[in-house]
């Protein structure tokens, strides 16, 4: 058990937030059992926090999550799913209450970058709306994603890419099984 634990902990990519922020805002890395997403703050829309994520289309959007499907989900590239989940909360305290089932890791970034990333991700999500699937089980909506999902390109990798767009530094790992937030230098 110890070698397995060491292997997976060694696959946590460290995320170092940016420093010298002029107008900081907190974004959250949401971690739950098999999923990592990025929760972006409200931008003039009455207190709506939005999580964006990435996963396997068949597993998440279609609900084909029987244990034996895990092999086809992670061993080779499959159809990706771009996910969105809305949280109605006016501040981060309330966000933590409505997402109490998940771990929320706060990261301070430049507000302008967070606003821009949220707009870009929302636009990309809207562009796929013809294929939209609502999955009540996860309280998420999914649209097809051009990227293939598998062990070498998973939700942690995608959230890491988004964090880099927010000015964070994300350490490289051959297999990323989670993200860990490091204190700023």
CA–CA separation, 101 vs 177, rounded Å?
Answer: 19
Is residue 181 assigned to a domain? no
Is residue 182 assigned to a domain? no
- pLDDT tens-place values along the chain, 185 residues long: 444 443 444 588 889 999 999 999 999 999 998 899 999 999 876 778 999 999 999 988 988 888 888 878 878 889 999 999 999 888 889 999 999 999 999 999 999 999 999 999 999 999 999 999 999 988 999 999 999 998 888 999 999 999 999 999 998 776 778 898 888 77
Is residue 150 assigned to a domain? yes
Is residue 23 assigned to a domain? yes
**CA–CA–CA angle 46, 36, 22 (5° rounding):** 55
Q: What is the pLDDT of residue 7?
A: 43
**Is the CB of residue 73 less than 8 Å from the CB of residue 150?**
yes
Is residue 149 assigned to a domain? yes
* Domain of residue 164, residue span: 2-176
Q: What is the pLDDT of residue 132?
A: 96
Going by the DSSP 8-state scheme, the letter that residue 150 receives in this structure is B
Is residue 21 assigned to a domain? yes
Is residue 185 assigned to a domain? no
Q: What is the pLDDT of residue 174?
A: 67
In total, how many domains does the chain have? 1
Q: Give the three-state DSSP class for 10.
A: coil
Is residue 172 assigned to a domain? yes
- Burial label, 111 (beta-carbon count in 10 A; 0-12, 13-18, 19+): middle
């Amino acid at each position: 058990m110890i070698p397995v634990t060491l292997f997976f902990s060694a696959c946590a990519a460290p995320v170092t937030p940016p420093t010298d922020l002029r107008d900081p805002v907190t974004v959250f890395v949401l971690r739950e059992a098999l999923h990592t997403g990025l929760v972006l703050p409200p931008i003039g829309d009455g207190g709506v926090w939005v999580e964006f994520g990435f996963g396997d289309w068949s597993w998440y959007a279609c609900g084909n999550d029987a244990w034996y499907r895990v092999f086809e989900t992670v061993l080779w590239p499959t159809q990706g799913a771009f996910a969105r989940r809305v949280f109605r909360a006016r501040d981060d305290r309330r966000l933590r209450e409505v997402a109490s089932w998940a771990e929320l890791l706060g990261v301070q970034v430049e507000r302008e970058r967070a606003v821009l990333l949220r707009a870009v991700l929302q636009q990309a999500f809207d562009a796929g709306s013809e294929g939209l699937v609502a999955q009540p089980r996860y309280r998420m909506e999914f649209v097809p994603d051009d990227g293939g999902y598998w062990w070498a390109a998973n939700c942690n990798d995608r959230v890491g890419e988004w964090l880099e767009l927010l000015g964070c530094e994300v350490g490289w790992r051959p297999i990323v099984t989670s993200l860990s937030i490091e204190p700023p230098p």
